[in-house]
Structure 1
Amino acid sequence: MGFGFVATQILAVSLPILLGWALNKLGIIGGDLDNRLSTLVLNVALPCSILASIDGAEALPDAGTLVLLMLATGVTYVIAIAVALVMAFLLRDTEDARVSYRFAIAFGNCGFIGLPVVGAILGAEAVLYAAIALIPANVILFAVGPLFFIDATADAGRPADRLRGVLASLKTPTLAASVAVLVLALAGVNRLGVAGQALGIVGQMATPLALLITGSSMAHYRPLEMLGNPRAYVAAAGRLLIVPLASLIAVNLFPLSPFLRAVIVLDGAMPVATLGALYCLKSGRDTKPMMQVTFLSVVFSVVTIPLVSLVL
């Protein structure tokens, strides 16, 4: 991948984000419409895109490759969590801010933004592998992510209740579609006929809608307020640069092709997962640090994603 190609792809991804910001300012999208469109993307468009990714695939990966792909993804998340814990400790901010920094550095938006961006840069075939990599990614996100927000001095509930909450969080159409793709790949099925074409048509709206909604969500932030926290810049750098580079070192230990390594690392180089703000609200913590890191990560990812792509 040359710089010109990557820059062109990122520009193509960035312009719809800018359009989404403008449409929000014009009052065309935003508010409840954004929430409903997000639900449409997460529950319908992305699952269809994932399922359609296997239709017509020229060569399906063998079981060993799929296991290695998921194992390597799991290892990169363990590394990301370790990096997040160390960096958040060194930043020495308030407890609420450190909680936000830990989550923001550890977890990227590998589904909502990651799948469309990976597909735009690496091609439609990459969506198939990225979807399979989403399986361990989602399990770790929903299992470990909420634990970052638990107040150690408060009663967090019985372990059985927390386990049921985690399992309930895993019941998402995106994860179900990823598991279905894994099963189909293991079974050697790569032709879905008319159903595959229909899924592809619906799945095509995932990328434009996700990017428009991302831009619209940025319009809710006051830029000066979002830019005034130096620690948020460090946390954003951890998410966008340090974690991907550490992950690149880790995936090189696995006997995977450069293409699959690129899928894993690039998907892990995405901006902060949007669930962070929801977890902050649910746990009663200050959302401002999380919003600051999220905003900065989205803005600077326009530059950092091409850099990571060139390193790959």
Structure 2
Amino acid sequence: MDFFAVLASILSLFVVIGLGFLARRHGLLDAGRVHTISHILVNIALPALTISSMQVPDTSQAMTMVDSTLAVAFAYYIGAFLVSLVVCHFLPATGTEKGVFRFMLVFPNVGFMGIPVAEVILGPGSLFYVILFNLPFNLLAFTLGVWLLAGEKAGRPDPRVLLTPGLAASILGLFLFLVGYHIPYPADATLDWIGKATTPLAMLVVGALLATLPSARLAGDWRVYLISAMRLLVFPLIAFAILSLFVTDRLLLLSSVLLIAMPVAANTVLLSEEYEVDATLASQGVFLSTLLCLATIPLLDFLFF
């Protein structure tokens, strides 16, 4: 692993978080503007990124690994979901907080950080697996994830809360991928261009939300550290132990474990802000887990890669 390249890719996210933090503290971003940016991200930038990330060239070799990769990804999400229900049942928290903690446990940052980090550690050949692993994320984050965050707040699961542009984009992107249709220029370039705005704007929102906290609360409490430890170390260690028994393709194995080891997804903040749940708690989870992954990713690289 090129340690400094990985470190630089993670630190760059913190630079943008810092800019968002300073912009909020100095009045350049108020609560209304932050909510507007989040709304644009959830309804425009993220759907564009979802569709463009699914525009993958379909070679015969790549297609042979589609089923295996999707099976591993869905197996992880099912397992993580069940574990999150058990852990959060015993975790002292309000109903809204438990929804955020469950989302934090289930959904790693497989897109914003997973793609650049995997390319650095495992090489460009891993990107096909990474993009395939993102397909279930795109489908589940806007269905299961939205229900985890907003279901209890609404009192009962509301199907209307699942009807989002993100879900529509995931279904459309998956359909285009399966039929092998490639969006022509300049539409593909436009989607890619809009999608690339997601990461910096998402980090600005995280920083702006963190700026509303007293300095003593930026570090969060022990519950956030527990969730971060499970997300960054416990889940990837368990995944490696289980997947190594069934997955023979080593690049698929390492790509899956690396993605499972990513910090809390930035979507946690965006969707928490969009559906008006505890966006502050979500920001603490994203901030701390991303900070801690500066140590955990090199550790896992030393152990497995």
Per the TM superposition, whether the score is higher than 0.5 is yes
Which residue does the alignment assign to 2:53? Answer: 53
Q: 1:174-253, aligned counterparts within 5 Å? A: 174-190=166-182, 192-227=184-219, 229-253=221-245
Q: TM-score by structure 1 length?
A: 0.74
Task: Say whether the 8 Å CA contact 2:228–2:288 is kept in structure 1.
Answer: yes
Distance 1:169 1:86 in 2: 24
Equivalenced residues, count: 293
Unaligned runs of 5+ in 1: none
Distance 2:280 2:204 in 1: 23
How far does residue 247 in structure 1 lie from its aligned partner after superposition?
A: 3.1
Per-residue displacement from partner, 1:16-45 (whole Å, max 9, x unpaired)? 111111111121123111111111112111
Task: Say whether the 8 Å CA contact 1:37–1:209 is kept in structure 2.
Answer: yes
How far does residue 228 in structure 1 lie from its aligned partner after superposition?
A: 6.5
Q: Is the counterpart of residue 121 in structure 1 residue 121 in structure 2? A: no
Q: Label 1:309 to 1:86 Cα distance change in 2 as closer, same or farther (>3 A).
A: farther
Distance 1:49 1:290 in 2: 22
Q: Label 1:13 to 1:171 Cα distance change in 2 as closer, same or farther (>3 A).
A: same
Q: Label 1:24 to 1:61 Cα distance change in 2 as closer, same or farther (>3 A).
A: farther
How far does residue 223 in structure 1 lie from its aligned partner after superposition?
A: 3.0
Distance 2:68 2:236 in 1: 18
Task: Say whether the 8 Å CA contact 1:75–1:250 is kept in structure 2.
Answer: no
How far does residue 14 in structure 1 lie from its aligned partner after superposition?
A: 1.9
Which residue does the alignment assign to 1:141? Answer: 145
Amino acid at match of 2:144: I
How far does residue 119 in structure 1 lie from its aligned partner after superposition?
A: 2.9
Q: 1:76-155, aligned counterparts within 5 Å? A: 76-88=76-88, 93=92, 99=98, 103=102, 106-108=105-107, 110=109, 114-123=110-119, 125=127, 128-138=131-141, 139-143=143-147, 149=152
Which shifted more, 42-51 or 221-230? 221-230
Amino acid at match of 2:236: P
Which residue does the alignment assign to 1:270? Answer: 263
Q: Label 1:183 to 1:9 Cα distance change in 2 as closer, same or farther (>3 A).
A: same
Distance 1:207 1:287 in 2: 17
Unaligned runs of 5+ in 2: none
Percent identity over paired residues: 23
Q: Label 1:7 to 1:264 Cα distance change in 2 as closer, same or farther (>3 A).
A: same
Q: Is the counterpart of residue 21 in structure 1 residue 21 in structure 2? A: yes
Following TM superposition, the consecutive aligned residue runs of length 4 or more in structure 1 with deviations greater than 6 angstroms are: 278-282, 286-291
- Secondary structure of 1:115 counterpart: coil
Which shifted more, 1-10 or 239-248? 239-248
Q: Label 1:296 to 1:13 Cα distance change in 2 as closer, same or farther (>3 A).
A: closer
Q: TM-score by structure 2 length?
A: 0.75
